[in-house]
Amino acid sequence: MVLGTRDAVGDEYVLQPGTTVGPRESGSALRARSLTLGTGSAPDAQPRRALILHDRPPVVDLIGRTLNHGLFVVKAAHNLPEAYVTLARWQPHLVVVDMDHEDSTALLHRLDTSNTLTRSFTPALGLTPRADLATRLRAFELGVDDILTMPFVPDELIARALVLSRRATGTDRPVVTVLKVGEVEVDIANREIRTGRSVTALSRIEQALLYLLASRAGRVVARDEILDVVWGPEFVAESNVVDRHIRSLRVKLNDDHRDPRFIGTVPGRGYRFIPTFSNAGRSGDASA
């Protein structure tokens, strides 16, 4: 599975809302097909554009996977020059900024200048691992329009992104609440998963964990990466907290760890979301 294709500027995630995640496809193939599995996802709807300034691929993938529900296409910039080029050429509707990135202040200044010169409004959503008032006030002083504490849960990111986008454009679009990932339908609004006739509720952590693994389908996600993205860098983990939540998620997916269809264990390395969803689809280092 691939969320997008790498271009000359950064990482572009062009997966259209409702698209089934499967084996690796070209960017043109992903653009060509869109399965409208959720609500309000008209086939001819033009997705909004979101620029992310972040240099951690797992976080970028998670944001890209999540914003797909809100009719967004995402490009990631790893540094200031990439961000400047994307702003000029792509004209995003939303900018998501890691406030700890060394270029965050400069990007927000450029965005403010651009908004003034063009008499437009491109809102900025700041991401920070700190929830204290001083950090939030500083972010607002630098020019963000809203701020989200990390780790975040997918439904909160979607809600904030859509509100900012609606303020900027004056138009509203419904959230694509259901996304199909292989044999699994994920309902983000009700925080449920559906496999066949089975409907199961997810906790906030389980939903974020499923999104993280699915956003990097086919690739190994290490336990330390999972802890960092889902629980946050300040979380003091129990030794088996990731394994326990993986085990709980497998139960809800009716996934046998000895013969997995969805989540494979890579001994000594971490976990891998299986993009082909069949027993024959497990390959290489994936095992129970």
CATH 3.40.50.2300 domain locations along the chain: 4-169
Q: What pLDDT score does 78 carry?
A: 93
pLDDT of residue 182: 66
Lowest mean pLDDT among 133-137, 180-184, 260-264, 274-278: 274-278
Nearest Cα to Cα of residue 83 among 59, 58, 57, 102: 102
* Residue 17: pLDDT over 60: no
- Phi and psi for 120 in degrees, rounded to 5? -120, 180
pLDDT at 20 over 50: no
Choose among 172, 192, 179, 135: nearest CA to 45. Answer: 172
Where are the CATH 1.10.10.10 domain residues in the chain?
183-281
Query: Tell me, what's the pLDDT at 155?
Result: 81
Architecture of domain 183-281: Orthogonal Bundle (1.10)
Which amino acid makes up residue 166? R
Strand partners, 100: none
Q: Pick the residue with more confidence: 70 or 14?
A: 70
What mean pLDDT is reported for the chain?
76
Q: Give this prediction's pTM.
A: 0.68
Class of domain 4-169: alpha beta
The CB-side HSE value for 279 (13 A sphere, CA atoms) comes to 5
